[in-house]
């Protein structure tokens, strides 16, 4: 039986583009899986928001993200990509991060070349470390992992230009990355250039309201992308929906106006497989066959 990492590797080798969807806990990961998507990605921005109500500016620790990786990977059968920001320090910190995420069952770990404090890829004010420094991080990450894949990301496109960003991800692939991402390209021409010139399986992030053109995945596949990821869709979908329903509850004293938008308790119980656990309790706690 293939491991989740090997399944992810097969997706990357396929001629058909694979879709990954961002999640931030077991609940959203299960919904991603239930909807039929092939891959879940643990968004660092989404975990920062959901866990601590913080912005994506490098405030979460390795421990917090590795714990999220373990919880999420254990509750779904699809491969999970973990966001490890810039590796939480130098190459030795990256080594430990790779070990922790692989122990947690993640199929891949994403490592970006931003300097600290890092920022969301679609924020302004980012800075990147020298290419050779990140190459060494990727090299040690690749030597450390047993089976897990390494996703190398550059944020250089908006800082040094698209040519430097493409040079960087090609260097990261040569250093041992299994697939790469140039984050936050701003034009269709830049996307085409990435698809044509990157010599490794390449992923693209599409963020609602972000800086990258929001193209259909079929068009991205024609450009040469192996995977398209929607890292913020679960987080961003919650904002207006919950605010709207809470406002109605505050003003009207009930939520009946939006009852069709709100899941039933039975929907919740089905999502978390409550019946299965009830059967286990019946047999092994109460001894009833």
Measured CA distances, 238 to 86, 163, 252 (Å): 27, 36, 21
Q: What is the DSSP string of 81-124?
A: EEE-TTTTSSHHHHHHHHHHHHHTT-SEEEEE-BPSSP--TTSS
Whether the Cβ atoms of residue 12 and residue 227 lie closer than 8 Å to each other:
yes
Q: What is the pTM of this model?
A: 0.95
pLDDT at site 72: 97
The string of pLDDT tens digits covering residues 193-229 is 999 999 999 999 999 999 999 999 999 999 999 999 9
Both structure tokens of 200: 């490794």
**Helices 131-144 and 162-175: angle between axes, nearest 10 degrees:** 30
pLDDT at site 182: 98
Whose tokens are 């009852």? That residue is 259
Q: Look at strands 202-205 and 108-112 and give their pairing.
A: unpaired
Maximum alpha-carbon separation in the chain: 67
The string of pLDDT tens digits covering residues 97-141 is 999 999 999 999 999 999 988 888 787 878 999 999 999 999 999
Mean pLDDT per 10-residue run, the chain (289 residues)? Answer: 96 97 97 98 95 90 96 97 96 98 98 89 87 98 98 96 98 98 96 98 96 96 98 95 97 96 94 95 94
CATH, range 4-235: 3.20.20.60
| Opening angle at CA 234, ends 17 and 46, nearest 5 | 100
- Distance, CA of 179 to CA of 28 (rounded, Å): 25
pLDDT at site 225: 98
Where are the domains positioned within the chain?
4-235, 239-285
What totals of helices (H) and strands (E) does the chain contain, helices first? Answer: 13, 8
CB atoms within 10 A of CB 130: 11
């Amino acid at each position: 039986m293939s491991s989740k990492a090997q399944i992810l590797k097969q997706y990357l080798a396929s001629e058909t583009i694979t879709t990954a969807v961002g999640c931030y806990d077991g609940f959203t990961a299960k919904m991603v899986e239930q909807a039929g998507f092939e891959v879940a990605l643990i968004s660092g921005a989404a975990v920062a928001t959901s866990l601590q109500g913080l912005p994506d500016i490098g405030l979460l620790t390795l421990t917090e993200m590795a714990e999220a990786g373990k919880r999420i990977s254990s509750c779904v059968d699809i491969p999970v990509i973990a966001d490890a920001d810039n590796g939480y320090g130098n190459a030795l910190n990256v080594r430990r991060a790779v070990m922790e995420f692989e122990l947690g069952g993640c199929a891949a770990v994403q490592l970006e070349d931003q300097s600290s404090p890092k920022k969301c890829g679609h924020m302004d004010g980012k800075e990147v470390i020298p290419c050779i420094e990140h190459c060494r991080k990727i090299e040690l990450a690749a030597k450390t992992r047993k089976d897990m894949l390494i996703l190398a990301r550059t944020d250089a496109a908006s800082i040094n230009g698209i040519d430097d960003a493409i040079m960087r991800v090609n260097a990261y692939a040569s250093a041992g990355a299994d697939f790469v991402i140039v984050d936050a390209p701003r034009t269709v021409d830049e996307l085409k250039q990435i698809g044509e010139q990157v010599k490794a399986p390449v992923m693209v992030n599409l963020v609602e309201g972000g800086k990258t053109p929001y193209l259909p995945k079929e068009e991205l596949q024609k450009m040469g992308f192996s995977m398209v990821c929607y890292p913020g869709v679960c987080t961003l979908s919650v904002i207006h929906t919950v605010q709207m329903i809470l406002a109605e509850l505050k003003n009207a004293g009930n939520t009946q106006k939006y009852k069709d938008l709100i899941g039933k308790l039975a929907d919740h119980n089905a999502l978390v497989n409550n019946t299965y656990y009830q059967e286990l309790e019946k047999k092994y706690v109460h001894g009833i066959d």
